[in-house]
A and B are shown apart, each in its own frame.
Chain A
Amino acid sequence: DTGVSQNPRHKITKRGQNVTFRCDPISEHNRLYWYRQTLGQGPEFLTYFQNEAQLEKSRLLSDRFSAERPKGSFSTLEIQRTEQGDSAMYLCASSFRDNHGYTFGSGTRLTVV
């Protein structure tokens, strides 16, 4: 297992287009998180899965955002009708239940033009 994998690493899209990102967590980890990070800021929580169940969503996650983890393994984050304000690094992390500490992926850098 090589850690948390995110694809693509970079995505440039035109405003109004839909984009989808994928995260493959560490296989033994049952918790999966999505965070968003803008330049010069710390990561902001978006949503969290325990196995296939989405247990918590931030107010930052507008109705244009949807996340899934259909089989409790990989997860996808989709953004519909992208806006320039969606430009950010989208980070995925995984952890054991009750473990103190995330393992982050390298992120997907989204640029909306």
Chain B
Amino acid sequence: TQLLEQSPQFLSIQEGENLTVYCNSSSVFSSLQWYRQEPGEGPVLLVTVVTGGEVKKLKRLTFQFGDARKDSSLHITAAQPGDTGLYLCAGELGTGNQFYFGTGTSLTVIP
């Protein structure tokens, strides 16, 4: 079973719409990251959240870490075609030596 489940798995929206991607687990994470990956490339780090309830904003992207540090969400306002890609969450257990990646959400923004 996957440690981190993301939903939805696929999302296709029109330019200008808002969307939210969810990342859920039954495990508690010491930190959680969001990455964006384009086809044929490695993931690129967007944000790291470490405190339960933490909210971080990156232009039109808003990231939230759940109070219990088991889940996270990514909200995109007024999506643009350049937002198209695979969004991955990744959680760190304790002070472990690796991040566990979620299943990914493939976003397509149609002009």
Q: Are A101 and B41 in contact (CB under 8 A)?
A: no
Q: Are B97 and A105 in contact (CB under 8 A)?
A: no
Report A38-79 residues with CB < 8 Å from chain B CB: 40-45, 48, 50, 55-56
Q: In the complex, A102→B99 CA distance in Å?
A: 9
Contact residues of B with A, CB < 8 Å?
A: 2, 4, 31, 33, 35, 40-45, 48, 50, 88, 90, 92, 97-104, 106
Within the complex, what minimum Cβ distance (angstroms) separates A25 from chain B?
A: 12
CB-defined A-B contacts under 8 Å, sample of 23:
A4-B42, A35-B101, A41-B103, A41-B104, A42-B88, A42-B90, A42-B102, A43-B88, A43-B101, A45-B99, A48-B98, A56-B98, A100-B31, A100-B33, A101-B33, A102-B43, A102-B45, A104-B42, A104-B44, A105-B42, A106-B42, A107-B40, A109-B40
Q: Which of A41, A44, A101, A104 contacts B48 (CB 8 A)?
A: A101
Chain A residues near B88 (CB, 8 Å)?
42-43
Within the complex, what minimum Cβ distance (angstroms) separates A63 from chain B?
A: 20
Q: How large is the interface on A (under 10, 10 to 19, 20 to 34, 35 or more residues)?
A: 20 to 34
